[in-house]
């Protein structure tokens, strides 16, 4: 019998924590807003007996919990983790994945981005726990949704983050001809409860993040840049269907190198955004430590 251990991981949202297990818990992705929705998950039902639990998300090897404001996670997270360990080690079921379910009510709407080659499709639920970018179908082997999207001949690149999909198209077709088709395809895919990314991809992402955090020791200036990007830049970039990653800081030239993903990669307005937005902000907040911001693939 497996012995489960649970690690509590903070997220960028103070209301949400991740409880990562050392074994996989579920093949699919499951989100429950209340105990009635959790009929196929005894574990989620058990968690909803805690009065501060607002949402339960189960995927791969982790459970994400959103709380109500009546408590702080620092006060209850250890107790919740212990209850979860006891539940799992007692051999209790997580999700009855063999139970046929009705299609989940999913809505998806299309949203234009500053990049005319990219359209953002936003769902009414969280679809992935982290950022994923696929440049071609070979890179998408661990993402069933991305693989299927690449079967559309006009799809060039696919980008996932939280509750949306950004799709980059070739110039062979116009969005007026494609948007409705893609929106309905993504909605039906999610409503059928299919995996957006596989459990293997989730594990790879977790291991990659842990390895990067272990191996990379940033100097004070680099860490300050990262904090500014995380707090002030990423939310705005995400709203446009993209993502920004810190790559490096060159002290001699005072140059910040970043990577743009999703709608921001190759966007005609990305240079303006870099120079008049991100570069100006970093100069204002960090003074003469910053001379220039350069996008390595933007």
In Å, how far are 26, 27, 95 from 98, measured between CA atoms?
Answer: 11, 11, 9
pLDDT of res. 298: 45
Residue 148 to residue 104: CA distance in whole angstroms: 20
User: What does the buried/exposed string (b/e) look like for 178-195 if buried means 16 or more CB atoms within 10 Å of the residue's CB?
Assistant: bbeebbebbbebbbeeeb
What six digits make up the tokens of 205?
């992402």
Kindly report the pTM of this predicted structure: 0.54
Strands 292-295 and 255-262: parallel
**pLDDT by residue (tens digit) across 30-49?**
889 999 888 889 999 999 99
**pLDDT by residue (tens digit) across 5-22?**
999 998 888 999 999 999
State the sign of the Cα–Cα–Cα–Cα dihedral 244, 258, 267, 283.
Answer: positive
Question: Do 165 and 148 touch, CB atoms closer than 8 A?
Answer: no
In Å, how far are 8, 157, 202, 211 from 261, measured between CA atoms?
Answer: 28, 10, 19, 21
Residue 295 to residue 298: CA distance in whole angstroms: 5
* Banded model confidence at residue 100, pLDDT cuts 50, 70, 90: very low
Q: Which one has a higher pLDDT value, 72 or 290?
A: 72
Phi, psi angle pair for 124, to nearest 5°: -90, 20
């Amino acid at each position: 019998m497996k012995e489960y251990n649970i690690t509590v991981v903070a997220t960028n949202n103070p209301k949400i924590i991740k409880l990562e297990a050392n074994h996989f818990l579920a093949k699919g992705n499951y989100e429950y807003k209340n105990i009635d929705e959790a009929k196929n998950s005894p574990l989620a039902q058990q968690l909803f007996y805690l009065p501060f639990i607002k949402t339960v998300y189960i995927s791969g090897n982790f459970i994400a919990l959103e709380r109500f404001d009546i408590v702080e996670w620092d006060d209850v997270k250890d107790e919740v983790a212990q209850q979860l360990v006891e539940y799992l080690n007692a051999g209790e079921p997580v999700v009855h994945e063999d139970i046929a379910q009705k299609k989940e009510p999913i809505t998806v709407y299309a949203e234009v981005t500053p990049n005319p080659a990219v359209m953002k499709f936003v769902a009414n639920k969280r679809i992935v726990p982290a950022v994923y970018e696929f440049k071609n179908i070979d890179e998408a082997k661990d993402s069933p949704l991305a693989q299927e999207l690449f079967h559309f001949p006009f799809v060039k690149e696919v980008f996932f983050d939280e509750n949306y999909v950004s799709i980059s198209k070739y110039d062979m077709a116009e969005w007026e001809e494609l948007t409705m088709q893609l929106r309905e395809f993504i909605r039906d895919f999610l409503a059928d409860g299919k995996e957006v990314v596989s459990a293997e991809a989730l594990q790879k992402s977790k291991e990659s993040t842990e390895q990067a955090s272990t191996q990379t020791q940033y100097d004070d200036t680099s860490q300050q840049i990262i904090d500014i990007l995380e707090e002030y830049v990423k939310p705005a970039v995400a709203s446009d269907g993209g993502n920004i990653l810190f790559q490096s800081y060159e002290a001699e030239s005072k140059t910040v190198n970043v990577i743009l993903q999703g709608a921001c990669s190759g966007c005609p307005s990305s240079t303006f955004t870099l120079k008049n937005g991100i570069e100006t902000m970093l100069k204002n907040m960090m003074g003469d430590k910053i001379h220039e911001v350069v996008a390595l693939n933007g």
